[in-house]
Structure 1
Amino acid sequence: MEYGLLLDPYIAESDDPHSRFTGLLASGVEKRSPRTQMTAAHLTVMCSDPNVYAGKL
């Protein structure tokens, strides 16, 4: 965490198969600080994601 701040974003995903905002956020966190942990909750839209993508998250 570059600035020592906690993040609690609200990401409104859709069931569009090309909508990947949660994955984009996770990828960005991992690239900036591989030891940083991230929790994503209430991802009900994941039921429409392909299993391969949902498994990566």
Structure 2
Amino acid sequence: MNCTQTNATRVDCTISIDSNGTLVVNAIDSDGTSTNTSETNYIIDTVFPVLTITDDVNNSTNS
């Protein structure tokens, strides 16, 4: 996890996830107050989209 404090009340974090599951984030401020949030049952899509192009290349106007 990579976190950067952007101002006195905000920290932005970037994480890398490579499997399905539950993500839990717990934040604790300098006074010791904590809170957490979670995202349950997320699914990482690893299937590439299928692209089909249907055009008559013999009638192309580009050179």
TM-score after normalising by structure 2: 0.27
Larger Rg: 2
Flag the structure with more relative contact order, 1 or 2, with Cα contacts below 8 A and sequence separation at least 6.
Answer: 1
- Which structure shows the bigger proportion of residues in strand conformation? 2
Decide which structure has greater helix share: 1
